[in-house]
């Protein structure tokens, strides 16, 4: 896992893209992603830069940029390819010789042998830039699911790229301008869906997208990845489905345990992470290190369940506790996220990653299982919504929805008032839009009062974009499978995977996601939806698999989620932070909000008269993001490892 950066001039092959000092500065902004090594190579019209986190072949043989001596092709690469050994053997049989044991060299020589088809052979997570001097081209690629990021800026003559936005802003500070439409998306979902970033002029490759940039030819943007759905839905029994899932997942774990540095697992006590630890033990891991984060608030703390799993599989288990003063980390979170990101579970993930990095360099986590196996409660809501819509409109508008306001306020996790309010709001919309509405960070009702009319016009209808991903889905999908497809292709890469990448790589911790292994995805997509969810019971096939050696009170308990006690914190200890950043000056400077409404929201939260916790958290993140990246009032605050090795200048120019 690493960080990459560079620039390619596709109009003038004779000019140097940057001077030495600026090139080194650009690459070194990514030093937290790769503290072990760094390299910059520059020639007329091209710059390739890399920061390395050494995972496979930790020797200098894995140094990047890496070049093929015969073709002159060079690569900078971020990620892990789990089937690199099989591909290496195939390439050797075709006459290729290797000088390292890295997957980087496998990709490079695979490109020399197979051209752009090499990407179709890979199982892993990746983002790369390959320079081909014979074609006078730069090939930018992002993995199919969107696990690894790749940001770009096209100025009309050059394409700039980097693993993080801060590397681009280091040499192009004029790009620190707000994209108001992108912010509109953020204030709908709590993240900025690709290709937007929140910054004008900075975009990102979508999952499974590639750019082929050739001198004298326009940029060819293509989507190389397609979800590996079966051609038609096939029925199977629960035992067959369990065997199919277990075989694929065990194989994924076996490949992802391969590392030349210590590997651990994030263990919440939920199904997804428990399955990871189970398979680690099944595949012969001798010493398993597991890590959990918990809270002082009992209803949010899941560490007891994690301990049960750790005891069952005899892991070396460690824990960290988060206090309500975790707001001190907000500035670091915003600096590392770069895009506006209002997923409050980023707080414990940031601190857990910092804690884990003291013991391991690689961590396995459970991202993706909910979107593949129907774990979210929103799928149950989508089942119930048609019945709600059959009620007379007068009953819905004047009885059911107002009834929610008379329920007592609560700071408990998944409290009834919050859940019913979200359900009634989303269920007013027909399918599949209703499912997209349940991803709203700020309700439609609140949006109409809080946001200024001109901003609402600029923001447009963000939920259309969520639903639009169904354009690439097979026609035979059931309603549940359509919802899973939307979440997998929109919510997962734009929200959850962004959080996992930025918060872990802030500490130089590589996170691997075995649920998003190619074979695991194929196995999950082949399982009938009736074996994934039955009424309010989700992940049925996974529960059946885990029940072979875990007790029912673990496998069949309600999904918890890795959330913080946001309602309580916003009502109490975080109030001073809200007042510091959510000010009338901020409302006027941005032009997004009506200040009286925003002020009233904070008062109602403090007094317990209403629950605006998620909306206020999103607005707080936006304010800190604005101060950090747009107005420049707050300097960026990200870790620079004191033990990091210097970046080398590989080729004098």
In CATH, what number is assigned to the domain containing residue 357? Answer: 3.40.50.620
In a domain, 468, yes or no: no
As a whole number, mean pLDDT of residues 377-400 equals 89
Please choose, from the candidates 145, 25, 165, 1, the residue with its C-alpha nearest in 3D space to the C-alpha of residue 507. Answer: 1
Q: Please state the length of the chain.
A: 653
Per DSSP (E only), the strands in 276-408 are 289-295, 316-322, 362-364
* pLDDT reported for residue 13: 75
Distance of alpha carbon 510 from alpha carbon 220, whole angstroms? 31
DSSP label at 8?
E
Angle at 182 between CA 177 and CA 188, to 5 degrees: 140
* pLDDT reported for residue 413: 62
pTM of the model: 0.95
Residues 195 and 249 in one domain: no
Residues 37 and 150 in one domain: yes
Domain final residue pick, 225, 253, 283: 225
Within 257-361, residue ranges assigned H as helices are: 271-282, 303-312, 330-337, 346-356
Distance of alpha carbon 406 from alpha carbon 579, whole angstroms? 28
How many CB atoms are closer than 10 A to CB 395?
A: 11
Residues 33 and 181 in one domain: yes
DSSP label at 349?
H
Model confidence over 333-380: pLDDT tens digits?
A: 999 999 999 999 999 999 999 999 999 999 999 999 999 999 999 999
347 by Cβ neighbours in 10 Å (0-12 / 13-18 / 19+) ranks as buried
* pLDDT reported for residue 307: 92
Model confidence over 112-121: pLDDT tens digits?
A: 999 999 999 9
Do residues 334 and 619 lie in contact, with contact meaning Cβ atoms separated by under 8 Å?
A: no
Angle at 137 between CA 136 and CA 143, to 5 degrees: 165
Distance of alpha carbon 477 from alpha carbon 485, whole angstroms? 9
How many CB atoms are closer than 10 A to CB 258?
A: 15
Q: In percent, how much of the chain has pLDDT > 90?
A: 74
User: What's the domain count of the chain?
Assistant: 2
In CATH, what number is assigned to the domain containing residue 177? Answer: 3.60.20.10
Model confidence over 564-607: pLDDT tens digits?
A: 788 888 999 899 999 999 999 999 999 999 999 999 999 999 99
In a domain, 303, yes or no: yes
Please choose, from the candidates 470, 463, 499, the residue with its C-alpha nearest in 3D space to the C-alpha of residue 227. Answer: 470
Model confidence over 618-646: pLDDT tens digits?
A: 999 999 999 999 987 776 655 566 678 88
Q: Is the pLDDT of residue 111 over 60?
A: yes
The mean predicted confidence, pLDDT, of the chain is 91
Residues 248 and 307 in one domain: yes
In a domain, 347, yes or no: yes
Dig out the tokens for 140 from the structure. 């930018």
In a domain, 388, yes or no: no
Domain final residue pick, 191, 225, 259: 225
In a domain, 327, yes or no: yes
Tell me the residue range of the domain where 22 lies: 2-225
Distance of alpha carbon 650 from alpha carbon 472, whole angstroms? 43
Residues 209 and 274 in one domain: no
Model confidence over 140-182: pLDDT tens digits?
A: 999 999 999 999 999 999 999 999 999 999 999 999 999 999 9
Q: Is the pLDDT of residue 94 over 60?
A: yes
In a domain, 564, yes or no: no
Residues 186 and 256 in one domain: no
* pLDDT reported for residue 298: 62
Residues 221 and 314 in one domain: no
Residues 34 and 172 in one domain: yes
CA distances from 199 to 84, 180, 500 (A): 36, 8, 21
Do residues 9 and 157 lie in contact, with contact meaning Cβ atoms separated by under 8 Å?
A: yes
DSSP label at 115?
G
Distance of alpha carbon 516 from alpha carbon 145, whole angstroms? 8
Q: Is the pLDDT of residue 465 over 80?
A: yes
In a domain, 411, yes or no: no
DSSP secondary structure letters along 19-30 = -HHHHHHHHHTT
* pLDDT reported for residue 461: 92
* pLDDT reported for residue 536: 87
DSSP label at 228?
-
Distance of alpha carbon 150 from alpha carbon 382, whole angstroms? 34
Q: Is the pLDDT of residue 35 over 60?
A: yes
Main-chain dihedrals φ then ψ at residue 314, nearest 5 degrees: 55, 55
In a domain, 35, yes or no: yes
Model confidence over 412-451: pLDDT tens digits?
A: 666 777 778 788 888 889 999 999 998 999 988 899 999 9
Do residues 47 and 17 lie in contact, with contact meaning Cβ atoms separated by under 8 Å?
A: yes
Domain final residue pick, 199, 225, 251: 225
Model confidence over 279-307: pLDDT tens digits?
A: 999 998 889 999 998 877 666 667 888 89
Cis peptide before 195 (omega within 30 of 0): yes
* pLDDT reported for residue 651: 73
Residues 112 and 160 in one domain: yes
Please choose, from the candidates 624, 606, 617, the residue with its C-alpha nearest in 3D space to the C-alpha of residue 566. Answer: 617
* pLDDT reported for residue 582: 96
Residues 66 and 115 in one domain: yes
As a whole number, mean pLDDT of residues 79-84 equals 96
Range of weakest confidence among 12-16, 306-310, 465-469, 517-521: 12-16
Let me know how many helices (H) and strands (E) the chain has, helices first.
29, 20
* pLDDT reported for residue 494: 97
Distance of alpha carbon 579 from alpha carbon 581, whole angstroms? 6
As a whole number, mean pLDDT of residues 461-470 equals 95
Residues 337 and 265 in one domain: yes
Distance of alpha carbon 59 from alpha carbon 481, whole angstroms? 45
Please choose, from the candidates 10, 49, 54, the residue with its C-alpha nearest in 3D space to the C-alpha of residue 26. Answer: 49
Q: Is the pLDDT of residue 328 over 90?
A: no
Model confidence over 508-532: pLDDT tens digits?
A: 999 999 999 999 999 999 999 999 9
Residues 154 and 302 in one domain: no
């Amino acid at each position: 896992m690493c960080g990459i950066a560079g620039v390619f001039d596709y109009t003038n092959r004779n000019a140097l893209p940057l001077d030495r000092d600026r090139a080194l500065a650009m690459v070194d902004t990514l030093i937290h992603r790769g503290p072990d090594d760094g390299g910059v190579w520059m020639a007329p019209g091209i710059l390739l830069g890399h920061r390395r986190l050494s995972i496979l072949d930790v020797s200098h043989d894995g140094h990047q940029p890496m070049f093929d001596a015969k073709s002159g092709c060079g690569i900078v690469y971020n990620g892990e390819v789990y089937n690199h050994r099989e591909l290496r053997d195939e390439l050797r049989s075709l006459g290729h010789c290797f000088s390292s044991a890295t997957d980087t060299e496998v990709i490079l020589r695979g490109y020399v042998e197979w051209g752009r088809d090499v990407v179709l052979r890979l199982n892993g997570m990746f983002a790369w830039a390959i320079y081909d001097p014979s074609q006078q081209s730069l090939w930018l690629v992002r993995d199919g699911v969107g696990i690894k990021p790749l940001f770009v800026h096209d100025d009309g003559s050059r394409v700039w790229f980097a693993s993080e936005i801060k590397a681009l802003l280091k040499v192009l500070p004029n790009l620190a301008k707000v994209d108001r439409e992108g912010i509109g998306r953020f204030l709908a979902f709590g993240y900025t869906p690709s290709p937007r970033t929140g910054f004008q002029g900075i975009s990102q490759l979508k999952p499974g997208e590639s750019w082929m940039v050739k001198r004298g030819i326009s940029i060819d943007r293509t989507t190389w990845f397609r979800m590996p759905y079966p051609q038609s839905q096939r029925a199977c029994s629960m035992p067959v489905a369990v065997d199919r899932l277990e075989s694929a997942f065990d194989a994924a774990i076996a490949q992802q345990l391969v590392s030349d540095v210590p590997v651990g697992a994030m263990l919440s006590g939920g199904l997804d992470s428990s399955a990871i630890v189970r398979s680690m033990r099944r595949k012969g891991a001798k010493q398993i290190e597991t890590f959990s984060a918990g809270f002082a608030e009992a209803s949010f703390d899941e560490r007891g369940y994690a301990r049960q799993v750790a005891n069952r599989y005899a892991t070396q288990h460690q824990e960290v506790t988060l206090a309500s003063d975790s707001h001190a980390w907000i500035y670091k979170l915003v600096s590392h996220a770069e895009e506006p990101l209002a997923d409050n579970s980023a707080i414990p993930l940031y601190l857990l990653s910092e804690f884990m990095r003291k013991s391991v360099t690689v961590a396995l986590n459970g991202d993706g299982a909910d979107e593949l196996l129907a774990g979210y409660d929103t799928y149950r809501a989508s089942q119930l919504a048609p019945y709600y819509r059959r009620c007379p409109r007068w009953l819905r508008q004047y009885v059911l929805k107002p009834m929610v306001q008379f329920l007592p306020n609560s700071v408990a996790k998944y409290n009834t008032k919050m859940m019913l309010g979200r359900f009634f709001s989303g269920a007013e919309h027909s399918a599949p839009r209703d499912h997209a509405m349940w991803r709203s960070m700020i309700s439609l009702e609140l949006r109409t009062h809080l946001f200024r009319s001109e901003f609402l016009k600029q923001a447009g209808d963000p939920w259309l974009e969520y639903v639009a991903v169904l354009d690439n889905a097979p026609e035979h999908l059931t309603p549940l499978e359509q919802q899973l497809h939307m979440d997998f292709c929109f919510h997962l890469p734009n929200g959850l995977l962004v959080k996992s990448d930025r918060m872990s790589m802030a500490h130089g911790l590589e996170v691997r996601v075995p649920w998003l292994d190619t074979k695991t995805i194929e196995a999950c997509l082949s399982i009938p939806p009736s074996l994934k969810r039955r009424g309010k019971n989700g992940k049925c096939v996974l529960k059946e698999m885990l029940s072979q050696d875990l007790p029912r009170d673990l496998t069949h308990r309600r999904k918890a989620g890795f959330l913080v006690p946001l309602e309580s914190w916003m009502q109490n200890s975080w109030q001073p932070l809200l007042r510091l950043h959510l000010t009338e000056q901020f409302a006027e400077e941005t032009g997004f909000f009506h200040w009286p409404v925003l002020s009233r929201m904070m008062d109602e939260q403090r007094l317990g008269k209403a629950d605006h916790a998620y909306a206020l958290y999103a607005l707080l993140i936006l304010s800190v993001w604005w101060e950090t990246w747009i107005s420049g009032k707050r300097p960026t605050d990200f870790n620079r490892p004191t033990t990091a090795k210097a970046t080398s200048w590989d080729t004098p120019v």
